[in-house]
Structure 1
Amino acid sequence: MAGSAEAMETAEIESAARWDAIWEGAAASLEREGNALLPSLLTPDQCARLAALYTQDERFRSRIVMARHNFGRGEYKYFSYPLPLFIARLRHALYRRLAPIANRWNRQLGVDVQYPADLTTFLARCHAAGQTRPTPLMLRYGAGDYNCLHQDLYGEHVFPLQVAILLSAPGVDFTGGEFVMTGTRSSGQYADVVPLMQGDAVVFAVNERPAVAGRARKVAMRHGVSVVRSGTRHTLGMIFHDAREPSAST
């Protein structure tokens, strides 16, 4: 973000997010459903300033037109390093909250990987393995656009949780375009639609989570976006592992 938008401070992020209240029930929801709503994570003004970045091509390393790759319809752009300051700070702040949950999940799944407390150290691990391309991205959908169910896996190192923040106002900027998650467990498949308002975020499992009950040890997860009926929908996607190769995303 340029000018005053670039100068949004970490204190503003944490004030807008009301961290303690927002995260109080998030861990329990993640354990139960594989996703958690973070209401009013960003203000409408912050959302507008972030969405305005989409036309600033110098901010991004690549643009993906989804129909060309059978990912759905619509498009998205991956940010370049250095990330816009506000996005970088938000990414670090979210990671700090999610790392303890990710570590608990891996212990439950018997995965011999633990994540450091800070994002800088984790990204150093990614970069040493050749995963050097930044993965935070901005998505734009118009009428008739959608995102097929998928998982965001970019290399050997995968952080098991990610975040999507809705920057547009449902019913005002667009209609349709619901965030959808599906899971597969011993009893069969299920789907979950997460209702989001402008500024809300959803935290969700990248590819799997521990099972709460039943015979299955884990639940396989995918996510996508239903068809946008009208208008334009912008989303900020926050993935915490970097990528080895350019590929599909949230």
Structure 2
Amino acid sequence: MTIHSLNTKRAGRSAESRVVAQDWRALVSDLDAHGCAVMPGLLSPSECAEIAALYPHEEHFRSHVVMARHGFGKGEYRYFRYPLPDLIEGLRTALYPRLATVANDWNEKMGAALRYPSDHAAFLKRCHDEGQVKPTPLLLQYAPGDFNCLHQDLYGALAFPLQVAILLSQPGQDFTGGEFVLTEQRPRMQSRAEVVPLKRGDAVIFAVHNRPVQGTKSYYRVNLRHGVSRLRSGQRHTVGIIFHDAE
């Protein structure tokens, strides 16, 4: 059975139930404190293998990017085309409302006027009205020596401030190295690095661009970038769920 053969309604309910089962109080606390949070066991090993197995099949994707050609690092990735695989679509829809609450809280603390609707379809309509119509969920593949430079996934004027990456391969078994890295630049301070340990099926939620940090008198804005360290051996697959569409 492939991901595309799953019934859409069944996949949606499955995605919603597994998202609801997460400890959201702890996740929000981690996001506020560190700019990232781990959802353990979001996907099963068989689901991870099934999604990773889509990579060679071009009919599922709208484009193929070789990182070295653009100075992004080494490795490659493919952007899914619409319609997305049912499970990825279901997770994107189920995760968005909870993350929109965090995003709106962050914008309020940073003094930003923008507020995000609670429904993902309404947010995508905003994207499409801005000319951002290309789907952004992607599947990444790394081989020995590959890495992803620190970056921000901003694809147009409208960007959702949180995204999710799910590790599809087992560290120490399928690959070594290849850690997820997040850096944070605070005003007039040196950058802080966060290495996030993940197991196969774990997902990391992280800030795309900015987040608020409590200062002595008020909140201030910090800038974040994310990447992947050099793979020492094996092969690593990750699926990325980005909530805004691209131009």
What's the TM-score bracket when you normalise by the shorter of the two chains?
over 0.9
Secondary structure of 1:193 counterpart = strand
Give the equivalent residue in structure 2 for 1:173: 174
Aligned to 1:155: 156
Structure 2, unpaired ranges of 5+: none
Distance in 2 of aligned mates of 1:47 and 1:24? 26
State the secondary structure of the residue aligned to 2:91: helix
- Aligned with 2:38: secondary structure? strand
Identity %: 54
What is the rounded CA distance, in whole Å, between the counterparts of 2:21 and 2:117 in structure 1?
21
The residue type equivalent to 1:171 in the other structure is G
Structure-to-structure mapping, 1:1-250, within 5 angstroms: 2=2, 5-7=5-7, 9-15=11-17, 17=18, 19-186=20-187, 187-214=189-216, 217-244=220-247
* Mapped contact 1:13–1:42 kept (Cα < 8 A): no
Runs of 4+ in 1 over 3 A off after TM superposition: 1-5
Could you say if the C-alpha distance between residues 153 and 44 of structure 1 is closer, same or farther in structure 2, counting changes exceeding 3 Å?
A: same
Q: Secondary structure at the match of 2:23?
A: helix
Root-mean-square deviation (CA), in Å?
1.6
Q: State the secondary structure of the residue aligned to 2:100.
A: helix
Q: TM-score, normalised by structure 1?
A: 0.93
> How many Å separate the matches in 2 of 1:207 and 1:18?
24
Quick one: which amino acid aligns to residue 156 of structure 2?
G
Q: Shift of the alpha carbon at 1:236?
A: 0.4
CA distance in 2, matches of 1:157, 1:147: 23
Distance 2:154 2:4 in 1: 34
Which range is displaced more, 67-76 or 186-195?
186-195
The change in CA–CA distance for 1:237 and 1:3 in structure 2 (over 3 A counts) is: closer
For 1:235, give the aligned amino acid. Answer: T
Measure the CA separation in 1 of the matches of 2:226 and 2:142.
Answer: 16
SS of aligned partner of 2:55: helix
Residue pair 2:28, 2:102 contacting (<8 A) in 1 also? yes
Deviation at 1:3, TM superposition (A): 7.1
Question: For the residues of structure 2 that align with 1:3 and 1:76, how far apart are their CA atoms?
Answer: 18
Q: Distance in 2 between matches of 1:195 and 1:22?
A: 18
1:155-211, CA deviations, whole angstroms, 9 ceiling, x for partnerless residues? 111100000000000011101000000001133211000000000000000011001
Shift of 1:82: 1.0
Segments of 5+ residues of structure 1 without an aligned counterpart are: 245-250
Cα distance in 2 between the residues matched to 1:6 and 1:230: 33
Give the TM-score normalised by structure 2.
Answer: 0.94
Q: Which amino acid aligns with 1:6?
A: L
Partner of 2:191, secondary structure, is strand
Provide the C-alpha distance between the structure 2 equivalents of 1:144 and 1:127, rounded to a whole number of angstroms.
37
Task: Tell me by how many angstroms 1:12 deviates.
Answer: 2.4
Instruction: Give the AA of the match of 2:66.
Output: V
**Other-structure match for 1:248:** none
